[in-house]
Structure 1
Amino acid sequence: NAFGSDSASEQAAVRRVAEAAGARFAVSDHWRKGGAGARELAEAVVEACTERGAFRFLSPLEEPLGRRIETLAREIYGADGVSYTEEARARLSALEADPATAALPVCMAKTQYSLSHDPARVGRPRGWTLPIRDMLSYCGAGWIVPVAGDIKLMPGTTSDPNFRRIAVDPVTGVVTGIS
């Protein structure tokens, strides 16, 4: 993401480091230029999608869900382990027992500011346990989402959201469709 304050030399340095590590590089300036500012990034994504990759999950999906969450916490986030609230533990047991959800991949919901659940713990924290307070299943999307720490989740919308029934009369300013 390019910002107006970025210099050409800063962007060039990021490009060199990214490409030296084998990553693609594209500038996205969408916040300033709209869709046109994201064209370079979009083209790079399309190009990357045409290549064959060697993607693999961190843990085999056949492993128990709790073990996969533990592996994610230890191997990626650097936690010593995982703790569960009573409610989350009960949901985990139910998800592991259900063939429709037992092998779904995991997508952790936690703060984006830290590898831990705590936004104040920067860098790669050591000596901590990842607290799971809830377990959500998004079967349509194909994910199990453990919720770590105090994070607000984005609300979802149905296929027919209520905003479609709300209107404002441009002459009178009267709002309808809200009860």
Structure 2
Amino acid sequence: MNKIYTLLTLLVLNSMCFAQEEKSSELYITISKRDSLLFNLGFNNCDILQFENLISENFEFYHDQSGITNSKSAFIQSIENGLCKLDYKPKRVLDKNSLEIFPLKKNGVLYGAIQNGIHKFYAIEKDNTEYLTSTAKFTHLWILENGKWKLTKGLSYDHQDGKEILDIEKK
């Protein structure tokens, strides 16, 4: 639990100390591209190679419904044996208007970035019927490791059931 509190405290303090990156900045574009590789290719198409390439060996994932996954190998195994074996095709869609990127620097040198946003998850049935399953907030910590951006921490929280969201939107 101390790790979670420390990470959350750092995220809050960081958001007070640094301004969000402009959408046209190199950092914003770079992290957005990594997000797209991770989700549009990796998650949406069960392309495990994307997870292998983008996730740090020190990866930890905190999920408000499925708990903590504290290694890269355990996370990838959960994707292979869970997500990729569902009886429908999962799809994640980023709410691009919600995306925020905050730089992390030490002595003026960029070493990482915090990415916050909202994403929606859909199920695509075999007959191509698509429906919303949930919406959630996320926070990702990206670190430059040997010159490459690696996802080191992931938080997925405030999941809302898709049916409840659709009912609210109809009102």
Would you call these one fold, judging by a TM-score over 0.5?
A: no
Q: TM-score range by the shorter chain?
A: under 0.3
Report which structure shows greater RCO (CA 8 Å, sep ≥6). 2
**What TM-score, normalized to structure 1?**
0.26
The structure that is helix-richer by fraction is 2
The structure that is strand-richer by fraction is 2
Structure whose CA Rg is larger: 1
